[in-house]
Amino acid sequence: MFWTCGGPTEMRREARAEARQAPTLAALATIAEAFEIPSPVVAIEPYGRGLINDTFRVAAGGTRYVLQRINGAVFPDPLRIMSNIQALDRTARLHPDLGFRVPALIATRAGDAGLRAPDGSVWRLMTLIEDAVSLHRIEEPEQAREVGRLLGRFHTLLQSLPAEVLGVTLPGFHDTPAYLARFLSVLARLEGARNDPQIETGIRFALDRQALARRLADARDRGEIPVRVIHGDPKLDNILFDRDSGRALALIDLDTLQPGLILHDIGDCLRSCCNRSGESADGRTAVAFDLAVAEPILRAYAEQTRAWLSAEEIALIPEAIRLMPFELGLRFLTDHLEGDRYFKVAEPGENLRKAGIQFALVRDIEGKAEDIRAMVSHCFQTP
C-alpha cells in the first residue's frame, strides 16, 4: 500500500517503482491548475537534483512556481510536511529581523495545502524564490561564511518553534543505529553473494565502524544533548544564494523539518559543503574534507548560535562531522544492496559509487581528527 507507515524510512520501499513513473505534461498541467494560480499553465519542466521527490518548475501568469510530488513511499503523511512548513512560515513572520525567506505554499482551489491525486500521490505547489541560485561547490570563503550564517540563523529561528508543535514527517530519519541494523540484516541475507571487491570494501569499511553509529544516539538517550527542531537535509543544493549579492537567502527542501538533533544538521551541512568534489565526485578533485571551507562555516555559525547552543553539543561537533558522511554512505550502500529502491539513480552502481565517496570522506575526516577538534573549539571561543 502506498501510505503504510512504520519502521525506519528505508523499509517502506514497495511503492518506489510506481512513484518513479513521470506523469505526462498534460497530467502535470491539470495538477498545477488545481492550485490557486492563474490559468493556463504556460510551461512545465523537470527541476532540481533531488533524490526523493519529483520536482517541476511551472510558469503561469508571469510567475514561476515549484510543483512537487511527494514520495509517498518515503513520507507516510505528506500533509504533515505542509503543516510543519506553515508553522515555520508563521514563526519566520514573527522574526523578520532574521531576514529568513520561506517558500510560500499555494493552496489548492479547494483550499487545501496539498492535492491528493486520484492515484493516491500527494502534490504541493510553492512559489519559486526568484533571482536565487544554488552552488555546485563552495568557491570562496565568503560563500562558506554565508552558509554558516544562514544555518545559524535558521537554527536560531527554530528555537522559537517547540519540537512538540511539529509532527514527525519521516520516522527513523537520521536514526543511525536503525540504518546500521537495516544494513546488517540486508547483509545477513546476502551471505554468499559478496564477490564484488568494491562492495566488499564498502561492507568492511562499515563493519569496522559500527560503534560510530551509536555515538549521538547514546548522548541523546543519556539526556546530554536535547532534541530540537532541525532541517534534516541542509546540504549545499538546498541553500539558495542571491544571484547578485551572493548572500545566502533561504534553506529550501523543508520535508524533513522535524524534531531531531542539531548535530545532524551541522554534520550534514559540513559533509556536503566541505567535500568540494561533491556527492558524485567525478574524479577531477580528490574526495577530502576541506578545513578551509569548514572553518568559515563554523565560525559564522557560532556567531549566530553561541547564545543557546550547549557546551555538550559543541563538544560533539567533531563526532557529527564524522558520523554524517558515515550514515549517508551506509544508506547509499544499503540501498545498492537492496536494488536501488530508495534513492533515485541514473545508472546501476551509482549508489555503490556514492557510498564509496562518503566513506572516502569519512576516512579523510578521521585523518584530520585533531585539526577538526582544534578548529571547532577555536570557532566557538568567545570572540
Distance of CA 209 to the CA centre of its chain: 23
Q: Residue 120's closest CA among 272, 20, 226, 3?
A: 3
Q: Which is nearer to ligand GN1, 29 or 362 (CB)?
A: 362
Distance of CA 185 to the CA centre of its chain: 25
Residue of 199, 263, 321, 328 that binds ligand GN1 (CB under 6 A):
328
Residues in 243-262 that interact with Mg ion by CB under 5 A: 253
How many angstroms separate the CA atoms of 175 and 173, rounded?
Answer: 5
How many angstroms separate the CA atoms of 223 and 217, rounded?
Answer: 10
Choose among Mg ion, ligand GN1, none what residue 235 binds, the Cβ cut-off being 5 to 8 Å by kind. Answer: ligand GN1
Cβ(125)–Cβ(37) under 8 Å? Answer: yes
Residues in 266-305 that interact with ligand GN1 by CB under 6 A: 279
Cβ(380)–Cβ(306) under 8 Å? Answer: yes
CB of 96 to ligand GN1, least distance (A): 27
Cβ(152)–Cβ(300) under 8 Å? Answer: yes
- For residue 347, give the C-alpha cell: 545508472
Cβ(335)–Cβ(343) under 8 Å? Answer: yes
Residue type at 37 in one-letter notation: I
Choose among Mg ion, ligand GN1, none what residue 48 binds, the Cβ cut-off being 5 to 8 Å by kind. Answer: none
CB of 367 to Mg ion, least distance (A): 29
Choose among ligand GN1, Mg ion, none what residue 279 binds, the Cβ cut-off being 5 to 8 Å by kind. Answer: ligand GN1
Peptide bond into 23 cis (omega under 30): no
Coarse DSSP helix, strand, coil percentages of the chain, rounded to the nearest 5 percent: 50, 15, 40
CB of 223 to ligand GN1, least distance (A): 26
Tell me if 295 contacts Mg ion by CB under 5 A: no
Residues in 90-119 that interact with Mg ion by CB under 5 A: none
Mark residues 43-82: x for contact with ligand GN1 by CB under 6 A, - for none: -------xxx---------------------x--------
Residue of 77, 146, 175, 233 that binds Mg ion (CB under 5 A):
233
Q: Which is nearer to Mg ion, 253 or 295 (CB)?
A: 253
Residues in 226-245 that interact with ligand GN1 by CB under 6 A: 233, 235
By CB under 6 A, name the binding residues for ligand GN1: 50-52, 74, 170, 233, 235, 253, 256, 279, 328
